[in-house]
Structure 1
Amino acid sequence: MSKPGLNTLKPGQHYLAKDLDSFISSTDAVLLSSNDNQLFTEPEREYKVVHEFTGFFEHSMEDGEKYFREKKAYVVEKA
């Protein structure tokens, strides 16, 4: 299922960890994984995109404010 040059992920679709690695290395996005910090430990493991968000709120330690960041964020889980 290797898809070189991914520029977006689609909810409901399955992707190999190596494809997600390539995607996140070349795209300004955030991946949230139910697999903790082991997302890229098995390149052939398959993950399903369960949610896609156009942005998220982030707390600034500098000024204590919360800001909405328009940055794609995806939730993935082991398939």
Structure 2
Amino acid sequence: MIKILLFAELQEQTGLDEISVDKAGLTVSELKTWLMENYELPTLNNSMIAINESYASETDRLKDGDIIAFIPPVSGG
């Protein structure tokens, strides 16, 4: 299983802060596509990505037990 952590507006859009899925073997890009199709997350492409607390790229492949976080840009003042 892969644990997906969602923050800020992604939490608001889904009503969830965490999703667990059996998607080991997918790339980050493939997982993002699946999430956008299944959870209607139009702003997901703007998010920073971390796997196991280290920044990741779209081509990184997910392994069973990974924790992937999608962190949207935050503005404030």
Output the TM-score relative to the length of structure 2.
0.31
The structure with the largest strand share of the pair is 1
Larger radius of gyration: 1
The structure with the largest helix share of the pair is 2
Output the TM-score relative to the length of structure 1.
0.31
